[in-house]
C-alpha cells in the first residue's frame, strides 16, 4: 500500500465507522464507463459536498491490494450485477492534489507527481521498465501489473486555484493532464477508467475544455450523477430520525439545491454537523471560500452588488454561465462572478424550458452567510443598505412608524428599488430590500394563507426569544390604517396561533400623487 499507488481501503473504512449514507451507486456509474469511450469522468461540486469521501470510496472498491468485500457487500453496490467483476481488480493511482500542494512548491507539482508515482510503481513491480516519458513508463507499468490502471484525482483544480498568479505553473499542470488524457491511444492503453473531482469544471482553453476527452458533470448540470452531488431528501429524513432532529427545520436551513431529476439536494457537511451538534446554524463560514467571496463582491462588476441585494431579499436573477473560464481570476462580467458563486455553492442554478438560467440563494444557512460577509466588506452601497435595514428593524420593534416610513422611502430612492414603481408588487419588493437584515433573526414568508386571505409579508422569529412576530400588509394609493384594518378583519394573526408570543401589525402604504410612504404600527400583546 502506498500514498499514490494502491492507497488501500482504510480511508473508506473510517468513513463507514461513522453514520454512513450509502452513495455506492456512484460506483455502478463508473463501472459502466470502464473500457468504453466514456472512461474519463470529471465531477465538480462545491466544498464540503463529499468529494473526498467519494474518491476514498472508489479507491477502496478498485484497489487490488486489499479485500473490501466486507465494506461493500451490504451496500447498494453489492446487488449490482457488475459488483464482483470490478471489486479489487485494479491498480489505483490516487492523487489528492491538496496533499500534493502541501508537500512541494507549486512550480514543482508535475515533477513531484511523476517522481513519486514512478517510485511507488517500481516498489510494487520491480521489473517495470522506467523510461523518460511518464506516459510511456505507465504503459510499461500496465505490462508489469497485468492490468490497466484506475486513476483517481481528488481536488484536481487545486493547483489551478493556488497558482492563480502563476500562469506558467497552471500551463505545466494542464499540459501534464493532457499528456495522460488527451492522447487517445496512450490513454486507452494505460487507463481502464479515470475519475477526477474538484470545485471547478476543467479550465477552458479558448471556448473549449483544456482536456476535452473528459465527460464533465458540474453543479450546473450533474446529469446522472445528481443524486450523488449531496444528500437527497429521503436520506436527510432518515438522518433526522436517527438523530431525533426536526426535518422541517433541517429543510429550511439546508435544502435548496435542486436538479431536473432530483428535486432536493442538501449540503452533506452542514447536515451532518447539525445532526451531530444538535444545533441548526450556519456551518458554511468555516470554509475559506467566504473570504474569497468578499473580493468578488467588492469588484461590483456591472452592478453586481445590486444583484446581491436582490438575491438576499429572496429574488432569483438571470445569469449567463457560458462565458465563465472555470478559474478564479478571469472575470469579464458580473455573470462570471455569479457563475463562480454557483460553483462554490453560494447560489443554486436552474434553467427553464427556453434555456434561460437563473440563480438564487438556496437556503437560510447561505443567506445568513451572505449577510455576515456583506457586513465585513468594502462595498459602501450595500453596507449602507444593511445599516439602514438594521435601523429599520429597531424602529419597527420600537413602534416608530415615522422612522419606518422614512427608511422605506430612502430604500425606494436607492438603486435597489424596482425601476418601475407603479404597483403594490413594486412596493413589496422595496419593503423586502428594506428589511433585508431580518434574515439573521427571522424567517420571511410571503402571501401566507391565513384567516380570510393571504398576509403580504410575515416575519417569524427563528427561535424562541423576546422578538415579536410581524405581519406586514401593503397598500397602494390607500391608507396604512386600512392595511391594519385588513389584518384584523381578515384575521391574519390566526396563522401564528402556535407561535404564542407578541405580534406587531405593520401597515405600509404609498401614495402616487404625494409620493409619500406612510406607516402605522400596532402591538398585539399576545396571540
Give per-residue pLDDT as tens, 443-493: 888 888 876 788 889 988 876 667 888 999 999 999 999 999 999 999 888
Q: For 275-306, how does the pLDDT look when each residue is reduced to its tens digit (9 = 90+)?
A: 999 999 888 765 555 666 667 777 667 778 87
- pTM score, whole prediction: 0.83
Q: Which of the pair, 286 or 232, is modelled with greater confidence?
A: 232
- What is the average pLDDT across 426-431? 84
> Which pLDDT score, from 0 to 100, does residue 119 have?
95
Residue 416 has pLDDT above 70, yes or no: no
Ranges of H-type helices in 34-96: 51-62, 69-72, 83-86
Q: Which helix (H) or strand (E) holds 94?
A: strand 91-96
Residue 527 has pLDDT above 60, yes or no: no
- What is the average pLDDT across 402-414? 89
pLDDT category of residue 319 using cuts at 50, 70 and 90: very high
Q: Please answer whether residues 23 and 74 qualify as being in contact, where contact means their C-beta atoms are separated by less than 8 angstroms.
A: no
> Which pLDDT score, from 0 to 100, does residue 287 have?
56
Q: In the chain, pLDDT over 70 holds for what percent of residues?
A: 91
Cell readout for 31 is: 463501472
> Which pLDDT score, from 0 to 100, does residue 204 have?
64
Q: Which of the pair, 277 or 184, is modelled with greater confidence?
A: 277
φ/ψ of residue 497, rounded to 5: -60, -25
Q: Which of the pair, 200 or 507, is modelled with greater confidence?
A: 507
Contacts of 110 (CB under 8 A, 6+ apart): 172, 173, 176
> Which pLDDT score, from 0 to 100, does residue 497 have?
76
Residue 207 has pLDDT above 50, yes or no: no
Q: Please answer whether residues 63 and 2 qualify as being in contact, where contact means their C-beta atoms are separated by less than 8 angstroms.
A: no
Lowest mean pLDDT among 73-87, 245-259, 316-330: 316-330
φ/ψ of residue 49, rounded to 5: -110, 25
> Which pLDDT score, from 0 to 100, does residue 479 have?
94
Between β-strands 204-205 and 149-154, what pairing exists: parallel, antiparallel or unpaired? unpaired
> Which pLDDT score, from 0 to 100, does residue 57 have?
96
Between β-strands 348-351 and 357-360, what pairing exists: parallel, antiparallel or unpaired? antiparallel
Report the distance separating Cα 119 and Cα 139, nearest Å. 15
Q: For 352-406, how does the pLDDT look when each residue is reduced to its tens digit (9 = 90+)?
A: 888 889 999 998 888 888 877 776 656 667 777 888 888 999 999 999 999 999 9
Residue 359: closest CA among 337, 338, 382, 328? 338
Residue with cell 429597531: 394
Q: Which of the pair, 2 or 34, is modelled with greater confidence?
A: 34
- What is the average pLDDT across 208-224? 82
**DSSP per-residue letters across 379-429:** -HHHHHHHHHHHHHHHHHHHT-HHHHHHHHHHHHHSTTS-S---SHHHHHH
Side by side, which strands form the sheet with 357-360? 317-318, 357-360, 348-351
* Identity of the highest mean pLDDT range in 29-43, 298-312, 441-455: 29-43
Residue 421 has pLDDT above 60, yes or no: yes
φ/ψ of residue 263, rounded to 5: -80, -25
Residue 29 has pLDDT above 70, yes or no: yes
Q: How far is CA 470 from CA 93, 148, 203, 327, 500, in A?
A: 58, 65, 48, 43, 13
Compute the mean pLDDT over every residue in the chain, rounded to the nearest whole number. 87
Lowest mean pLDDT among 8-22, 142-156, 200-214: 200-214
If one counts every other C-beta atom within 10 angstroms of the C-beta of residue 381, the result is 15
Q: For 98-146, how does the pLDDT look when each residue is reduced to its tens digit (9 = 90+)?
A: 999 999 999 999 999 999 999 999 999 999 989 888 999 999 999 999 9
Residue 320 has pLDDT above 60, yes or no: yes
Q: Which helix (H) or strand (E) holds 302?
A: none
| HSE-CB of 126 using CA atoms within 13 angstroms | 0
Report the distance separating Cα 44 and Cα 349, nearest Å. 14
> Which pLDDT score, from 0 to 100, does residue 526 have?
54
Helix axes 247-254, 233-243, angle to 10 degrees: 130
> Which pLDDT score, from 0 to 100, does residue 285 have?
65
Residue 27 has pLDDT above 90, yes or no: yes
> Which pLDDT score, from 0 to 100, does residue 176 have?
93
If one counts every other C-beta atom within 10 angstroms of the C-beta of residue 313, the result is 23
Taking the CA atoms of the chain, what radius of gyration do you get in angstroms? Answer: 27
Amino acid at each position: 500500500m502506498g500514498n499514490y499507488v494502491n492507497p488501500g481501503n482504510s480511508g473508506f473504512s473510517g468513513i463507514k465507522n461513522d453514520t454512513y449514507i450509502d452513495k455506492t451507486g456512484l460506483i455502478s456509474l463508473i463501472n459502466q464507463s470502464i473500457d468504453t469511450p466514456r472512461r474519463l469522468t470529471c465531477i465538480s461540486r462545491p466544498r464540503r459536498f463529499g468529494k473526498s469521501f467519494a474518491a476514498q470510496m472508489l479507491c477502496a472498491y478498485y484497489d487490488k491490494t486489499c479485500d473490501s468485500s466486507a465494506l461493500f457487500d451490504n451496500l447498494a453496490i453489492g446487488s449490482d450485477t457488475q459488483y464482483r467483476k470490478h471489486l479489487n481488480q485494479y491498480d489505483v493511482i490516487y492523487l489528492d492534489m491538496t496533499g500534493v500542494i502541501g508537500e512541494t512548491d507549486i512550480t514543482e507539482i508535475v515533477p513531484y507527481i511523476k517522481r513519486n508515482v514512478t517510485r511507488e510503481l517500481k516498489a510494487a513491480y520491480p521489473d517495470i521498465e522506467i523510461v523518460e516519458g511518464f506516459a510511456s513508463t505507465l504503459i510499461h507499468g500496465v505490462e508489469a501489473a497485468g492490468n490497466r490502471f484506475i486513476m483517481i484525482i481528488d481536488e484536481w483544480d487545486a493547483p489551478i486555484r493556488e497558482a492563480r498568479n502563476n500562469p506558467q505553473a497552471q500551463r505545466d499542470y494542464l499540459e501534464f493532464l493532457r499528456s495522460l488524457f488527451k492522447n487517445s491511444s496512450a490513454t486507452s492503453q494505460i487507463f481502464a477508467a479515470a475519475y477526477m473531482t474538484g470545485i471547478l469544471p476543467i479550465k477552458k482553453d479558448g471556448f473549449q475544455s483544456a482536456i476535452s476527452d473528459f465527460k464533465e458533470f458540474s453543479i450546473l448540470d450533474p446529469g446522472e450523477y445528481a443524486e450523488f452531488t449531496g444528500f437527497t431528501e429521503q436520506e436527510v429524513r432518515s438522518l433526522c430520525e436517527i438523530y431525533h432532529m426536526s426535518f422541517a427545520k433541517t429543510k429550511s436551513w439546508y435544502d435548496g439545491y435542486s436538479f431536473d431529476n432530483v428535486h432536493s439536494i442538501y449540503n452533506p457537511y452542514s447536515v451532518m454537523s447539525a445532526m451531530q451538534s444538535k444545533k441548526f446554524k450556519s456551518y458554511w463560514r468555516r470554509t475559506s471560500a467566504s473570504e474569497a467571496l468578499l473580493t468578488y463582491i467588492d469588484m461590483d462588476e456591472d452592478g453586481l452588488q445590486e444583484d446581491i441585494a436582490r438575491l438576499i431579499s429572496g429574488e432569483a436573477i438571470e445569469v449567463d454561465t457560458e462565458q465563465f473560464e472555470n478559474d478564479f481570476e478571469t472575470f469579464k462580467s458580473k455573470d462570471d462572478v455569479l457563475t463562480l458563486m454557483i460553483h462554490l455553492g453560494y447560489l443554486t442554478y436552474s434553467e427553464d424550458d427556453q434555456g434561460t438560467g437563473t440563480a438564487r440563494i438556496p437556503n437560510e444557512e447561505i443567506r445568513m452567510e451572505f449577510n455576515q460577509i456583506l457586513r465585513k466588506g468594502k462595498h459602501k452601497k450595500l453596507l449602507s443598505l444593511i445599516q439602514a435595514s438594521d435601523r429599520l428593524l429597531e424602529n419597527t420593534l420600537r413602534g416608530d412608524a415615522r422612522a419606518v416610513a422614512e427608511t422605506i422611502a430612502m430604500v425606494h430612492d436607492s438603486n435597489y428599488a424596482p425601476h418601475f414603481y407603479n404597483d403594490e408588487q413594486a412596493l413589496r419588493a422595496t419593503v423586502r430590500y428594506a428589511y433585508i437584515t431580518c434574515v439573521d433573526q427571522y424567517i420571511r414568508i410571503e402571501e401566507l394563507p391565513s384567516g380570510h386571505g393571504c398576509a403580504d409579508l410575515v416575519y417569524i422569529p427563528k427561535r424562541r426569544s423576546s422578538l415579536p412576530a410581524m405581519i406586514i400588509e401593503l397598500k397602494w394609493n390607500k391608507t396604512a390604517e386600512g392595511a391594519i384594518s385588513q389584518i384584523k378583519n381578515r384575521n391574519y394573526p390566526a396563522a401564528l396561533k402556535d407561535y404564542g408570543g407578541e405580534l406587531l401589525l405593520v401597515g405600509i402604504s404609498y401614495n402616487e400623487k404625494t409620493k409619500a410612504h406612510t406607516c402605522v404600527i400596532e402591538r398585539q400583546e399576545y396571540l
